[in-house]
Amino acid sequence: MKHQTEQLYLYPVWIRIWHMTNALLCLLLIITGLSIQFSNPQTVVKFNAAVSIHNIAGIFLTINYGLFFLGNLFTPNGAYYVIPVKGFFDRLMKQFKYYTIGIFKKEDAPFPVNEESKFNPLQQVTYVVLMYGFVPFVIISGWGLLYPEMTVYSIFNISGLDLTDLLHITAGFGISIIMFVHVYFCTIGKTPTSNFKSMINGYHESH
Ligand code: HEM
């Protein structure tokens, strides 16, 4: 039977602008962040330049996050980020089984994309943890490092600044890992490039 391609408009223009800016800034922050962390005279981006670019990109990331936060607060897109508590683990396990077994047996996805739910349960949890956990955390700790006088002097005998630094690096590392996994999972669509096209033209392609 020939499948008919269905087009759903799921990515409004503000989400696409936010996402493109966010992805580029995150890449820049990862490259400069690593250059600061593993600084030596041969590093691709020199230490002083890396610090300046990292700080400026961080400020833009904060402003851009404001767009995401307000957009989700005041438009229907925010509803996709509300996780229904009932049956939460069952739904997660169903999706997990699909990704580990079902997909290789060419089974149908247990949570097909539609206007009511554009994310599957695993995707939804990842995006919520990423966008309401890791990203605000990396932003707040980053501002703490930019204005060290704002951080607490010491907690349990550990310097507040060292702790903020450690938490910032851990969150940044977490976002980097999630980003790789995210891009890999985005290749699982109608075709390997379908989801990337969606983030450009706004339309999700499904059978
Ligand atoms: C080169 C880097 C990236 C690429 C190629 C990419 C690609 C994509 C694609 C194709 C989608 C649409 C498919 C889907 O709904 O899953 C998407 C959605 C999304 N991405 Fe990314 N992404 C990148 C980086 C990031 C980063 C760094 C973050 C967050 C820190 C992020 C957060 C999100 C979120 C929250 C959505 C869902 C947006 C919505 O519809 O409400 N992405 N991404």
Q: Is the CB of 29 under 6 A from ligand 1?
A: no
Tokens 């996805």, residue located: 109
Helix pair angle (47-74, 13-37), 10° resolution: 150
Question: Which region, left, alpha or beta, applies to residue 114 given φ > 0 means left and ψ of -120 to 50 means alpha?
Answer: beta
Atom of ligand 1 nearest to the CA of 80: 41
pTM over 0.85: yes
Give dist(CA 110, CA 5) in Å, integer.
Answer: 18
- List the residue whose alpha carbon is closest to atom 7 of ligand 1: 183
Among candidate residues 38, 18, 151, 2, the one with its CA nearest the CA of residue 78 = 18
Q: Tell me, what's the pLDDT at 153?
A: 77
Query: Distance between CA atoms of 195 and 184, rounded to whole angstroms?
Result: 11
Q: Does 65 sit in the ligand 1 pocket, CB within 6 Å?
A: no
Ligand 1, atom 9: closest residue by C-alpha: 196
User: Which structural domains are found in the chain, ordered by start?
Assistant: 6-206 (1.20.950.20)
Query: pLDDT at position 108, please?
Result: 92
With 0-12 / 13-18 / 19 or more C-beta atoms within 10 angstroms meaning exposed / middle / buried, residue 89 is: exposed
DSSP assignment letter at 83:
P
Look at residue 2 in the predicted model and tell me its pLDDT: 43
Distance in Å, CA 37 to ligand 1 centroid:
26
Q: Which stretches does DSSP call E strand in 105-202? A: 154-155, 158-159
Mean pLDDT per block of 10 residues along the chain (207 residues) reads: 69 98 98 91 86 98 98 98 95 96 94 94 97 98 92 80 94 97 94 96 88
pLDDT at 152: 78
Residue 207 has what pLDDT?
64
Residue 11 near ligand 1, beta carbon < 6 Å: yes
